[in-house]
């Protein structure tokens, strides 16, 4: 198996100096002026060193030149196979070009960076090759990173050993300007393919924490039973909801909000808020959503089309929150979050909601 | 001329393995032992049992007759004995090690003397189809054992028929279903509430019996969230199935309120007492208001766990639920014991005949040998041992105990190695495998996997302080290695006969082989 590496050397530059991110040349300049030094190459080397220790043999790593990978590969005692030479200073465009150049030559592309780097990698490679993030950003919201650099290396080693499933994972788009203003505003940017290695939990006897296809099928059956053949299911974005649509016999886009009837007919694909409001006003509709993995947002992130008006039309009793037990476990005990933009509606959703975790199985889970 | 103290011949040669207490220089034996089926040679015999004299009037239909004799290995008795003794040296047998790492399995010491009762021909020679007038002795043991369990739990009646703990939970769920069916509420009461840190068997049994399952997650302190319970109960609530203490080791201090809330909604409450090791003689299920409870005789009352095989469970119920107990019950009229099959509201049979009689005899012997005061002392020592061990483990770098910091636990603790894993890349399972290099056991099942990098230890009352010190020292040594030399831990075991097994083979129905016939078909391709 060939494992490639692209490093965004400026990722996380602002973190240690309190700038909450590194997007934009001016922020990076400011960070350097405050004494920030790049951490990404060092952390990428840690991941590669872990990978090397687990594979036991040195190997060549397709990568980009200089601080975008070559240095990290050398530091880990491996052989760089440089496929792209960036200019100085490096930019987001270099990440895109490097990832594009590497993708045809690797079976797994490691990238060191944060959410912004993940978005650039997604733009460059899409679903053509599995990727895995070595976390070096300030606060990663995307579910495409190893828990630590070392964990990322371990996951790559497990994939190299064979038998690891590949799954879709969410790339989030965080508005750093909003964060600097004290607001967290993340939206779903898209999906990449990552090796499915639950590194934060046991490798064996993982029970309810693996993305269990049978529990997704159970969720789909449960939702179909609730909606009935003539009821409408407003399905939020994400892989769980797309699997629900597939189990009903409906093919819908991964992104956006889709409306499916209980018999599998696609009533609306990638619908906007106005369209949903009109539909919810005419037929009994169930709002089915899944929280964002690891983060817990139920409303207000990535599914703003499900507007307060749509939620009010359906009513709290027709809200169907679904998540596998694995996804709930990934929240580490943190509550689900709502931020619909309507304070009164948010207040009404707080407390405990039954979360459908499988066929006939619910978790009473706190919502804040 | 050398001066100074002469080294003790008993001092460990490797100074690195030398904290107090000294870690054992364990190494498993390797025997390259063939399968029993490969050892046999035609014509060899161990014992020659007398030929069965089939009654003349019994004629087996052709479809039930073997076309050829069974292909059993033919060996002499000592060959069989040596085979199994060699195998026992190739694994971490229960009698060899400090097995506090068994987690929720409560592997306490099962006194060998109690096996003498079971092996006695008076017990071993019984046949389940004997006339009840000829089995008065074993019926008396069952009747008395029921009486003891009634006293321990406060319940009104018991059944000893279930074949294991999960079978007992299923029996309770079946009785709950029958209870509501008798009231015409079978359709409307279709939800069972449990908690995420109750035994997963509760959710599984309720689901198997056709109920919807609602799981409560813990609040910020780690206790089942009582607000979630209030949201969950209603006219559809059939029952609460709850373990207390839960598998975190935390005892729910509001358990009476839980029971009251469910009762007010018209539901029943069933107490999963798989973790009863720490509460014997201290709390009673009925006194807390529970309608049903169960014990794992194979754990709490010191009978073999039997690897999911012939274990034994016991269900206790209030008088109101007694009509639904499985048949038969054991009754006593003052002079004679009898089996009562005439119970029209019974849920029927849960297991053939009486249940697992040898384990009922062992449990009875264990309880009688301890007495009431002894049971309470066993519970108190189990709790003391557990908290002593927790204090030791919390001193180890990288270990932590999630939820309710500073609160004591009852009889077990679910620890987390999350910090160690993040800092070293060594996982809980790696620690467990390395622990085997020091001759000790560490179980890897800690459902549900909400606690990251979990480790569940349950010392019971059976271990001495020195043994707990040894176990903690082994964990400390492995954690030290994880920080200083993680490769040693990750590549463990180093002193076992087999290196890491390929578990994907064991998890795949296409390749696992649990019988000789399956092995020949799947592995040898015959």
What pLDDT shows up at residue A139? 60
Residue range B45-65: average pLDDT? 79
For the purposes of burial, counting CB atoms within 10 Å of the CB of A35, is it exposed (0-12), middle (13-18) or buried (19 or more)? Answer: exposed
Sheet containing strand A131-135, strands side by side? A79-84, A60-64, A3-7, A108-113, A131-135
Distance CA(A303)–CA(A308), nearest Å, equals 11
In this model, does residue A17 exceed pLDDT 60?
no
What pLDDT shows up at residue A285? 87
For residue A327, name the pLDDT band (cuts at 50, 70, 90).
confident
Residue range A317-345: average pLDDT? 87
**Treating both helix axes as pointing N-terminal to C-terminal, what angle do B357-393 and B112-119 enclose, rounded to 10 degrees?**
170
What pLDDT shows up at residue B334? 96
Question: Among residues of chain A, what percentage have pLDDT more than 70?
Answer: 83
Closest CA to B226 of B248, B199, B195: B195
The mean-pLDDT minimum among A290-304, B111-125, B273-287, B288-302 falls in: A290-304
Distance CA(B282)–CA(B376), nearest Å, equals 7
What pLDDT shows up at residue A341? 83
What pLDDT shows up at residue B49? 79
Closest CA to A330 of A228, A210, A183, A173: A210
State how far residue B162 is from chain A, nearest Cα, in angstroms: 25
CB contact under 8 A, B213 and A360: yes
The number of residues in chain B equals 526
- Do residues A357 and A328 touch, judged by C-beta distance below 8 A? yes
Of B217, B449, B450, the CB nearest to A365: B217
Q: Which letter, b or e, does each residue of B268-278 get, where b requires 16 or more Cβ atoms within 10 Å of its Cβ? A: bbbbbbbbbbb
Residues 6+ apart with CB under 8 A from A74: A80
Write out B437-506 in H/E/C secondary structure: CCCCCECCCCCCCCCCCEEEECCCCCCCHHHHHHHHHHHHHHHHHHHHCHHHHHCCCCCCCCCCCCHHHH
Residue B31 in 3-state DSSP?
coil
CB contact under 8 A, A364 and B218: no
Q: Is the pLDDT higher at A30 or at B437?
A: B437
- Asked if A74 reaches chain B (Cβ–Cβ under 8 Å), the answer is no
Secondary-structure percent of chain A, ordered helix, strand, coil, rounded to 5: 35, 25, 40
Domain ranges of chain B: 116-368, 371-505
For residue B10, name the pLDDT band (cuts at 50, 70, 90).
very low
For residue A187, name the pLDDT band (cuts at 50, 70, 90).
low
What are the backbone dihedrals phi and psi of residue A46, each rounded to the nearest 5 degrees, phi first?
Answer: -60, -45
**Which of B203, B398, B424, B427 would best serve as a mutation to test chain A binding (most A beta carbons within 10 A)?**
B427
pLDDT digits (tens, 9 = 90+) for B173-209: 999 999 999 999 999 999 999 999 998 999 999 999 9
Residue range A285-297: average pLDDT? 85
Residues 6+ apart with CB under 8 A from B432: B101, B442, B443, B444, B455
CB contact under 8 A, B212 and A208: no
What pLDDT shows up at residue A64? 96
In a 13 Å sphere around the CA of A81, the CA atoms on its Cβ side amount to 13
pLDDT digits (tens, 9 = 90+) for A66-78: 999 999 999 999 9
**Tokens 């689901």, located at residue:** B207
- Asked if A54 reaches chain B (Cβ–Cβ under 8 Å), the answer is yes
What pLDDT shows up at residue A143? 75
Supply A198's token pair.
């639950």
DSSP per residue, B108-132: ----HHHHHHHHSHHHHT--TTS-G
CB contact under 8 A, B212 and A360: yes
Please report which helix (H) or strand (E) contains residue A68, including its range.
none
- Do residues B285 and B279 touch, judged by C-beta distance below 8 A? no
In this model, does residue A322 exceed pLDDT 70?
yes
- Asked if B443 reaches chain A (Cβ–Cβ under 8 Å), the answer is no
**Tokens 């054991």, located at residue:** B330
- Asked if B488 reaches chain A (Cβ–Cβ under 8 Å), the answer is no
CB contact under 8 A, B215 and A363: yes
Residue A81 in 3-state DSSP?
strand
Closest CA to B39 of B73, B87, B76, B72: B73
CATH classification for the domain delimited by B371-505, as one of 3.40.50.720, 3.90.1150.10, 3.30.300.30, 3.30.310.50 = 3.90.1150.10
What pLDDT shows up at residue B323? 98
CATH number, span B116-368 = 3.40.640.10
- Asked if B506 reaches chain A (Cβ–Cβ under 8 Å), the answer is no
The mean-pLDDT minimum among B226-230, B260-264, B487-491, B514-518 falls in: B514-518
Set of chain B residues whose Cβ sits within 8 Å of the Cβ of A197 = none
What pLDDT shows up at residue B307? 61
pLDDT digits (tens, 9 = 90+) for B386-439: 999 999 999 999 999 999 888 999 999 999 999 998 888 898 989 999 999 999
In this model, does residue B477 exceed pLDDT 80?
yes
What pLDDT shows up at residue A207? 31
What pLDDT shows up at residue B451? 86
Set of chain A residues whose Cβ sits within 8 Å of the Cβ of B504 = 163
Write out B76-111 in H/E/C secondary structure: CHHHHHHHHHHHHHCCCCCCCCCCCECHHHCCCCCC
What pLDDT shows up at residue A235? 93
What pLDDT shows up at residue A161? 83
pLDDT digits (tens, 9 = 90+) for B364-388: 999 999 999 999 999 999 999 999 9
Q: Terminal CA-to-CA distance of chain A, rounded, Å?
A: 44
State how far residue A59 is from chain B, nearest Cα, in angstroms: 19
pLDDT digits (tens, 9 = 90+) for A38-65: 788 999 999 999 899 888 888 999 999 9
pLDDT digits (tens, 9 = 90+) for B268-286: 999 999 999 999 999 999 9
CB contact under 8 A, B446 and A366: no
CB contact under 8 A, A364 and B229: yes
What pLDDT shows up at residue B105? 76
What pLDDT shows up at residue A246? 84
For the purposes of burial, counting CB atoms within 10 Å of the CB of B55, is it exposed (0-12), middle (13-18) or buried (19 or more)? Answer: exposed
Set of chain B residues whose Cβ sits within 8 Å of the Cβ of A206 = 449
Q: What is the mean pLDDT of chain A?
A: 83
- Do residues A333 and A299 touch, judged by C-beta distance below 8 A? no
Domain ranges of chain A: 3-195, 213-367
- Do residues B192 and B172 touch, judged by C-beta distance below 8 A? no
β-pair partners for A82: A63
The number of residues in chain A equals 368
The mean-pLDDT minimum among A174-183, B36-45, B272-281, B504-513 falls in: A174-183
Please report which helix (H) or strand (E) contains residue A233, including its range.
strand A232-235
The mean-pLDDT minimum among B48-57, B162-171, B465-474 falls in: B48-57
What are the backbone dihedrals phi and psi of residue B205, each rounded to the nearest 5 degrees, phi first?
Answer: -70, -40
What pLDDT shows up at residue A175? 62
Distance CA(A208)–CA(A357), nearest Å, equals 10
CB contact under 8 A, A364 and B427: no
Residue range B291-320: average pLDDT? 89
Domains B116-368 and B371-505 belong to one CATH topology: no
- Asked if A208 reaches chain B (Cβ–Cβ under 8 Å), the answer is yes
Residue range B41-54: average pLDDT? 81
Supply B156's token pair.
């009104």
State how far residue B264 is from chain A, nearest Cα, in angstroms: 19
- Asked if A354 reaches chain B (Cβ–Cβ under 8 Å), the answer is yes
Q: Is the pLDDT higher at B466 or at A204?
A: B466
For residue A138, name the pLDDT band (cuts at 50, 70, 90).
low
CA B242-A204-A322 angle, to 5 degrees, is: 55
Set of chain A residues whose Cβ sits within 8 Å of the Cβ of B203 = 361
What are the backbone dihedrals phi and psi of residue A60, each rounded to the nearest 5 degrees, phi first?
Answer: -85, 140
CA-to-CA dists, residue B491 to A56, A270, B427, B455, angstroms:
11, 50, 12, 19
In this model, does residue B263 exceed pLDDT 90?
yes
What pLDDT shows up at residue A61? 96
Residue A203 in 3-state DSSP?
coil
Nearest CA in chain B to A206: B449
- Judge if the upstream peptide bond of residue B493 is cis by omega within 30 degrees of 0: yes
Nearest CA in chain B to A198: B452
Distance CA(B285)–CA(B234), nearest Å, equals 23
Nearest CA in chain B to A148: B422
CB contact under 8 A, B452 and A352: no
The mean-pLDDT minimum among A114-123, A240-249, A356-365 falls in: A240-249
Distance CA(B275)–CA(B258), nearest Å, equals 18
CB contact under 8 A, B216 and A364: yes
Set of chain B residues whose Cβ sits within 8 Å of the Cβ of A154 = 425
- Asked if A161 reaches chain B (Cβ–Cβ under 8 Å), the answer is no
Distance CA(B475)–CA(B399), nearest Å, equals 10
In this model, does residue A27 exceed pLDDT 60?
yes
**Which of A46, A56, A199, A205 would best serve as a mutation to test chain B binding (most B beta carbons within 10 A)?**
A205
β-pair partners for B400: B416
For residue A198, name the pLDDT band (cuts at 50, 70, 90).
low
Q: What is the mean pLDDT of chain B?
A: 90
Distance CA(B157)–CA(B330), nearest Å, equals 10
Set of chain B residues whose Cβ sits within 8 Å of the Cβ of A333 = 217-218, 450
CA-to-CA dists, residue A60 to A5, A54, A81, A110, A125, angstroms:
11, 15, 6, 14, 21
User: Is 0.95 surpassed by the pTM of this model?
Assistant: no
CA A188-A248-A128 angle, to 5 degrees, is: 45
Q: Is the pLDDT higher at A151 or at A133?
A: A133
Question: Among residues of chain B, what percentage have pLDDT more than 90?
Answer: 67
Please report which helix (H) or strand (E) contains residue B207, including its range.
helix B200-208
Closest CA to B253 of B283, B211, B276, B233: B283
Nearest CA in chain B to A49: B425
CA B237-B240-B246 angle, to 5 degrees, is: 150
Q: Counting one residue from A and one from B, how many pairs have CB atoms under 8 Å apart?
A: 99
For residue B21, name the pLDDT band (cuts at 50, 70, 90).
low
pLDDT digits (tens, 9 = 90+) for B74-99: 999 999 999 999 998 888 877 888 88
Q: Is the pLDDT higher at B471 or at A190?
A: B471
């Amino acid at each position: 198996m060939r494992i490639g590496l692209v490093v965004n050397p400026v990722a996380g530059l602002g973190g240690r100096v309190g700038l909450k991110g590194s997007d934009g040349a001016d922020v990076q300049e400011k960070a350097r002026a405050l004494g920030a030094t790049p951490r990404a190459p060092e952390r990428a080397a840690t991941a590669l060193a872990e990978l090397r220790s687990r594979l036991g043999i040195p190997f060549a790593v397709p990568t980009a030149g200089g601080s975008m990978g070559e240095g990290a590969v050398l530091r880990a005692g491996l052989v760089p196979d440089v496929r792209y030479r960036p200019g100085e200073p490096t930019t987001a465009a270099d990440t895109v070009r490097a990832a594009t150049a590497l993708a045809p030559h690797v079976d797994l592309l490691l990238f060191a960076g944060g959410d912004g780097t993940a978005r650039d990698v997604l733009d460059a490679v899409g679903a053509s090759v599995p990727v895995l993030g070595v976390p070096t950003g300030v606060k990663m919201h995307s579910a495409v990173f190893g828990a630590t650099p070392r964990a990322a290396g371990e996951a790559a080693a497990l994939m190299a050993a064979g038998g690891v499933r590949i799954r879709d994972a969410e790339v989030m788009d965080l508005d750093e300007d909003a964060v600097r203003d004290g607001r967290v505003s993340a939206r779903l940017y898209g999906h990449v393919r990552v090796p499915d290695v639950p590194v934060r939990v046991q490798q064996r006897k993982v029970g309810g924490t693996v993305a269990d296809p049978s529990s997704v099928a159970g969720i789909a059956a449960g939702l179909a039973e609730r909606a009935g053949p003539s009821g409408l299911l407003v399905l939020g974005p994400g892989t769980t909801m797309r699997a629900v649509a597939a189990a009903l016999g409906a093919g819908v886009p991964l992104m956006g909000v889709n409306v499916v009837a209980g018999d599998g007919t696609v009533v609306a694909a990638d619908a906007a808020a106005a369209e949903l409001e009109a539909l919810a006003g005419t037929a009994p509709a169930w709002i089915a959503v899944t929280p964002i993995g690891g983060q817990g947002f139920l409303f207000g992130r990535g599914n703003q089309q499900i507007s307060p008006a749509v939620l009010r039309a359906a009513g709290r009793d027709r809200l169907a929150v679904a998540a596998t037990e694995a996804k709930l476990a990934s929240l580490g005990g943190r509550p689900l979050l709502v931020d619909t933009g309507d304070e009164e509606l948010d207040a009404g959703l707080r407390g405990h909601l039954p979360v459908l975790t499988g066929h006939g199985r619910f978790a009473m889970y706190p919502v804040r | 001329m050398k001066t100074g103290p002469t080294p003790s011949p008993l001092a460990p040669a490797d100074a690195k393995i030398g904290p107090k207490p000294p870690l054992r220089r364990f190494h498993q034996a390797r025997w390259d032992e063939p399968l029993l089926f490969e050892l046999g040679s035609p014509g060899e015999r161990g014992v020659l049992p007398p030929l069965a004299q089939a009654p003349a009037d019994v004629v087996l239909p052709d479809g039930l007759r073997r076309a050829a004799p069974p292909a059993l290995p033919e060996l002499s008795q000592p060959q069989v004995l040596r085979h199994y003794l060699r195998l026992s040296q190739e694994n971490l047998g229960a009698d060899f090690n400090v097995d506090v790492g068994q987690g929720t399995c409560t592997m306490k010491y099962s006194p060998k003397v109690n096996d003498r009762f079971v092996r006695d021909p008076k017990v071993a020679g019984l046949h389940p189809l004997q006339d009840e007038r000829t089995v008065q002795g074993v019926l008396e043991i069952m009747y008395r054992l029921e009486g003891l369990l009634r006293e321990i739990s406060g319940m009104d009646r018991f059944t000893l028929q279930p074949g294991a703990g999960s079978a007992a939970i299923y029996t309770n769920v079946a009785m709950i279903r029958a209870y509501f069916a008798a009231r015409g509420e079978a359709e409307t009461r279709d939800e069972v509430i449990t908690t995420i840190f109750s035994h997963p068997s509760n959710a599984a049994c309720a689901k198997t019996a056709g109920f919807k399952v609602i799981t409560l997650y813990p609040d910020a302190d780690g206790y089942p969230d009582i607000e979630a319970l209030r949201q969950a109960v209603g006219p559809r609530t059939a029952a609460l199935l709850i373990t207390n203490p839960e598998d975190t080791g935390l005892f729910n201090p509001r358990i009476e309120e839980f029971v009251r809330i469910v009762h007010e909604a018209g539901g029943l409450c069933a107490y999963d007492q798989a973790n009863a090791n720490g509460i014997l003689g201290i709390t009673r299920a009925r006194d807390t208001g529970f309608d049903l409870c169960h014990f794992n005789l194979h754990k709490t009352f010191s009978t073999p766990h039997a690897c999911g095989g012939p274990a034994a469970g016991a269900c206790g119920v209030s008088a109101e639920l007694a009509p639904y107990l499985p048949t038969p019950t054991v009754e006593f009229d003052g002079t004679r014991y009898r089996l009562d099959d005439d119970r029209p509201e019974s849920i029927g049979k849960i297991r053939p005949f009486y249940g697992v009689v040898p384990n009922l005899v062992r449990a009875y012997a264990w309880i009688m040998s301890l007495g009431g005061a002894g049971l309470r002392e066993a519970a108190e020592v189990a709790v003391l041992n557990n908290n002593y061990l927790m204090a030791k483990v919390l001193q180890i770098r990288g270990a932590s105990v999630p939820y309710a910091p500073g609160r004591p636990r009852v009889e077990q603790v679910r620890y987390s190695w999350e910090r160690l894993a993040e800092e070293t890349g060594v996982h809980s399972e790696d620690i467990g495998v390395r622990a085997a290099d020091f001759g000790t056991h560490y179980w890897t099942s800690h459902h549900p996997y909400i606690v990251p990098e979990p480790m569940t230890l349950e010392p019971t009352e059976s271990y001495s302080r020195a043994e707990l010190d040894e176990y903690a020292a082994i964990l400390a040594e492995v954690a030290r290695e994880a920080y200083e030399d993680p490769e040693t831990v990750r590549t463990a075991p180093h002193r076992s006969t087999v290196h890491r097994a390929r578990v994907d083979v064991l998890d795949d129905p296409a390749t696992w082989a649990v019988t000789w016939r399956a092995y020949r078909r799947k592995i040898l391709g015959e």
